[in-house]
Structure 1
Amino acid sequence: MTETTFSALGVPAPLVASLAAEGKTTAFPIQVDTLPDTLKGRDVLGRGKTGSGKTLAFSIPLVARLGGALAGGRRRPGRPLALVLSPTRELATQISAVITPLAKAYDLKTTTIFGGVNQSRQVNALNEGVDIVVACPGRLEDLMKQGHVTLDAIEITVLDEADHMADLGFLPVVTRLMNKTPKSGQRMLFSATLDNGVDKLVSRYLRNQVLHSVDEANSPVAAMTHHVFVVEGALAKRALVRKLASGTGRRILFTRTKHAAKKLARELTAGGIPALDLHGNLTQGIRDRNLAAFAAGDVRVLVATDVAARGVHVDDIELVVHVDPPAEHKAYLHRSGRTARAGKQGEVVTITQPSQRKETEELLRRAKISVRPRAVTADSPAVVELVGEVAEIVMPVFAQDQSRRNRPTGVRTSGGGEVARRGAHDGGREGSKPRSGRSQSGRSQSGKPLGGKPKGGKSQSGKPLGGKPKGGKSQSARGQARNAARGGAGGARGGAGGARSSKRTRRG
């Protein structure tokens, strides 16, 4: 197939140079199809599977038109010129990361707006004046009600992953936001499907739109290879998951629940395979740091729930594992779309047990995936070949095992463990607290509080602190020796307690 350059599609020279600096010189099919229309200001409905290049397809014309045909005037506080609506915080961050280097070519300012974080940064950015806002619908509407932003100056509106916004119940909010934008502005809607009310958005807000749909044969996602591995029992499944996680490349393991994601990340880390979790129970700061560590290659395994299925736009993910098959076929496609991005090859594994086999086959049938299930163990040739080179084991070092001064750099999982890694970022202090709810620096290795009196105001030997010993006599040399011996035994017992505490921290 003939490759098409961005320059040949009419992309302005400053953006061509910006794209080339990132190694992007040829366009994907959906970009080839849509750019001639979007650069002219036409409304476009773009349909394409996840990973097909939709983000760049709308980012290029958005920046090109704001920097060219629509340029002029100074920035006005709280009145942006372009709006991109995204269903999730992670996706909003990823979209902003694509737009920002392009916007710099025309000195345009971009900001993100989403919930789960303090709004002060977002309000300050709006007050200073921004050109492009990438937002989740709920927080944006909140800021509008507070009077921090209006949408009456919007020239270009983009709805990204509109079908997922429908799945999450955002369409009423999206409708209210769209009603606040000028009818004369350019509107682009990108979605994998047109169900659940997305078709109503199209008919209501797009004018004389051009439909561009990337078919399966031309999509980079067609480069995926799908596998279904059948295992007998929980132990066999655990061994298979560990084997699939042990390779050298990036991989994402998907679970159905937040608890399962946290537990699996902790088990892998404790077993020498550094892993981070990504799910809705984490604060936005930890989610951002875990995703950044994964994208930077500090950790090669990410264990995620479906919150990440649309939010992880990271290239070079060689394997996606459905540890738990998803509930419906759309989730399967979006999870799987984390691999085979940017035209690369990718592998997708679904792990199932005999009792799940029928529902898994129905799931794949609805996803239009044809693959024959295979019964395997962790040591089966098909598994070993898929994993390829096995990465070096990296055993975790927990906080109570080292002083803060000597602690190695590392990355922290939500379970409180710190993974010692050469060259990793010093992000270990950013994880959550141990399950006890106390800072580990506030306890000794034996589990006793540091500083102040022990419980009951007594010494470890059981005698009152301060004043004379019982009977009013000073302690004899023999008594001192005896108590020293007892202290040694107590120290040994304390060391054992510390070991038990370490185990509890790993598990809990």
Structure 2
Amino acid sequence: MNHPDDSGTADSGATRGGPARPGATTPALPPAGSFADLGLPVEVLRTLSESGVREPFPIQAATLPDALKGRDVLGRGRTGSGKTLAFGLPLLTRTAGRRAEPKQPLALVLVPTRELAQQVTEALAPYAEALRLRMATVVGGVSTGRQVAALRQGAEVVVATPGRLHDLIERNACRLGRVRITVLDEADQMCDLGFLPQVVEALDQVHPDGQRMLFSATLDGDVDQLVRRYLHDPVAHSVDPGAARITTMEHHVLVVHGPDRYAVVTEIAARDGRVLLFLDTKHAVDQLTRHLRASGVHAGALHSGKSQPQRTRTLAQFKNGQVTVLVATNVAARGLHVDDLDLVVNVDPPTDPKDYVHRAGRTARAGGSGRVVTLVPAGHRDETRRMLAEAGIEATVTKVRSGEAELSRITGAKAPSGIPLDGGAAPARPKNTNAPFRGLGTSKDPARGGGGKSRKAGEARKLAEARKAALVRRNG
């Protein structure tokens, strides 16, 4: 789908007629005023109209004229700025009319995650079908059998994650020598995830005279190396990648007392409407999801440890409302579009400003409004303040406790039903919602040593009895 993250304008030296990057010599073409001005096939224009896509977004208006001419394109912008059609329409239009031989695709889109691969495929499928082009999605987490079969039957366009593509190349199930259009989407995340060797391997195998389009939120380090090594006379365009300049997005830092953290999260999750919760580890995601479901909250878990069918099903349920809370690691920080998602919560504050920007980008999309909330223990405020400053974010800082009106005002938090969704007993909750929350793995049962003072008293009593017994033995 054609979903922008903001309504910023494209801007670069190239769009003003200057060279795009050092070494680029050919100025960019003027931006397109409409899709009709671009000379797109009538089948594509019809599909755009049927999909409700009327006018190009800034990144599309800027890049489409050059990309349709076969220029190498460097696009800077975060997910959701409209990049999928910005590279997808030229890729499909310039591939139309050609037929792929078995195992030899003609166009390749590399993405960092399975979710983004699925989203790109779904967004481009109507246009590919209109142009009678076959697509294949190549990702990990599912059986290779169907992917091998799709490649053997012939697919003009392959959307792939680098790891699975590498595996299929090793098995001689895919050959890239006839690929003349290559796209790297979210190149910076592919590098951050350690996929650089596989990306380089793929770029070394595609047709040397082919077109390359690279889209990334940042152009530093490994990404810059890819640009300089593989893009020839590229024209550069950008859409502001920062969340800080989206006026419809609010940023809040909620300072919470450590033991109260789970109660705060639970009440936020029980709000009316969807919410996306980010945590750092797979174990923490699973643990919080179990707790929320035991509290009566319709929550689903998403992380790299889940099978692809599980991940696909959970995302579908989140989008259709069966699941109202998605608990996820950074796997959901890019390539995830959900209509009307107005709240993102960093249960674990990110340490990397880029992670914050991409997590935040899941809300306030397509001109909508949204809030990004980061939960911070009192002792970690300085670290979070520095991270936000690096991201260019000014956030409102508020101390909150569970059950308080201020928490509800900011997040819509409310008490959960407490009726377990999967059977079993509801989790222990404090009688007073302002009391410290015990969280998981704790008990009030004094027989299990739940109270600190009673435990210490018991230990002292045992020690006294042991000393008395020793004295009796010594005195015979």
TM-score range relative to shorter protein: 0.7 to 0.9
Distance change >3 Å, CA 248–CA 123, structure 1 → 2: same
41-50 or 335-344, larger mean C-alpha shift: 335-344
Distance change >3 Å, CA 206–CA 95, structure 1 → 2: same
Indicate whether 1:310 and 2:334 are aligned: yes
Distance change >3 Å, CA 378–CA 17, structure 1 → 2: farther
1:24 counterpart (43, 53, 75):
53
Task: Write out aligned runs for 1:449-464 (5 A).
Answer: none
Distance change >3 Å, CA 220–CA 151, structure 1 → 2: farther
Distance change >3 Å, CA 144–CA 28, structure 1 → 2: same
Task: Write out aligned runs for 1:344-493 (5 A).
Answer: 344-388=368-412, 393=417, 395-398=419-422
Is contact 1:52–1:221 with CA below 8 Å preserved after alignment? no
CA deviations 1:374-427 (Å, max 9, x no partner) are 1122444443233449799594443799xxxxxxxxxxxxxxxxxxxxxxxxxx
| TM-score where L is the length of structure 1 | 0.73
- Report the secondary structure of 1:152's partner residue: coil
Q: Which residue of 2 aligns with 1:247?
A: 271
Task: Write out aligned runs for 1:175-194 (5 A).
Answer: 175-194=200-219
Q: Give the structure, 1 or 2, with the largest relative contact order (CA under 8 Å, sep 6 or more).
A: 2
CA deviations 1:42-83 (Å, max 9, x no partner) are 11000012322222211121112222xxx23x3311111110
CA deviations 1:445-499 (Å, max 9, x no partner) are xxxxxxxxxxxxxxxxxxxxxxxxxxxxxxxxxxxxxxxxxxxxxxxxxxxxxxx
Distance change >3 Å, CA 86–CA 32, structure 1 → 2: same
CA deviations 1:337-382 (Å, max 9, x no partner) are 1112223222100111111101000110111101231112244444
Task: Write out aligned runs for 1:67-86 (5 A).
Answer: 67=96, 71-72=97-98, 74-86=99-111
- Report the secondary structure of 1:317's partner residue: coil
AA at the equivalent of 1:206: L
Q: Which residue of 2 aligns with 1:478?
A: none
Indicate whether 1:61 and 2:90 are aligned: yes
| TM-score where L is the length of structure 2 | 0.78
Is contact 1:216–1:222 with CA below 8 Å preserved after alignment? no
Distance change >3 Å, CA 398–CA 169, structure 1 → 2: closer
CA deviations 1:219-238 (Å, max 9, x no partner) are 99553211111112222x22
Is contact 1:51–1:340 with CA below 8 Å preserved after alignment? no
Is contact 1:160–1:190 with CA below 8 Å preserved after alignment? yes
CA deviations 1:78-112 (Å, max 9, x no partner) are 11111000111121111111111111111111111
Inter-partner Cα distance in structure 1 for 2:243 and 2:383 = 29
Indicate whether 1:165 and 2:190 are aligned: yes
Inter-partner Cα distance in structure 2 for 1:222 and 1:30 = 19
- Report the secondary structure of 1:243's partner residue: helix
- Report the secondary structure of 1:154's partner residue: coil
Is contact 2:408–2:414 with CA below 8 Å preserved after alignment? no
1:174 counterpart (199, 211, 222):
199
Give the deviation of 1:260 after TM superposition. 1.2
385-394 or 5-14, larger mean C-alpha shift: 385-394
Is contact 2:274–2:324 with CA below 8 Å preserved after alignment? yes
What percentage of aligned pairs have identical amino acids? 49
Is contact 2:76–2:241 with CA below 8 Å preserved after alignment? no
Aligned residues: 396
Aligned-residue CA RMSD (Å): 2.5
Indicate whether 1:35 and 2:59 are aligned: no
Inter-partner Cα distance in structure 2 for 1:358 and 1:280 = 30
2:252 counterpart (224, 227, 242):
227
Q: Which residue of 2 aligns with 1:480?
A: none
| Structure 2 unaligned spans of 5+ | 1-6, 10-31, 426-476
Inter-partner Cα distance in structure 1 for 2:243 and 2:270 = 32
Is contact 2:295–2:416 with CA below 8 Å preserved after alignment? no
- Report the secondary structure of 1:373's partner residue: strand
Is contact 1:83–1:156 with CA below 8 Å preserved after alignment? yes
2:145 counterpart (120, 131, 151):
120
Q: Which residue of 1 aligns with 2:132?
A: 107
